[in-house]
Amino acid sequence: MIIRNIIGYFKFPKASLWIFGLMLLLILSRFAMLNVQNWNSGYISNGMPGPKLAIDSERYISAAENMSKGVALQGREYQFAGYIGLLAIIKTLNLSL
């Protein structure tokens, strides 16, 4: 419904909406396929399957652990509160990161 309202705002011809929808579907499908491929084989990034931890991963994970313990965010952690909150929910539910 929201997407229909956004697209309706620009008043595209009906044929353009179909083309736009197909292009969006193609882009999202390709994105999903590459992410699944990278998750399973690591072919695209470092050759190792599974999640990729980088330099700032520890900051987010430790902030999520602190958030789940009730400790307030500190410094730059406020800029990433949504992401850290999502990680905190995942860790609280004992799901794998």
Which residues have CB under 8 Å from 49's CB, separation 6+?
39, 40, 41, 42
Average pLDDT value for residue range 9-34: 83
Looking at the predicted structure, is the pLDDT value of residue 26 above 80?
yes
pTM of the model: 0.51
What pLDDT is attached to residue 21? 85
Looking at the predicted structure, is the pLDDT value of residue 14 above 90?
no
- Burial degree of 82 (CB within 10 A; 0-12, 13-18, 19+): exposed
| More reliable by pLDDT, 14 or 65 | 65
Looking at the predicted structure, is the pLDDT value of residue 63 above 90?
yes
Most distant CA pair in the chain: distance in Å?
53
| More reliable by pLDDT, 26 or 97 | 26
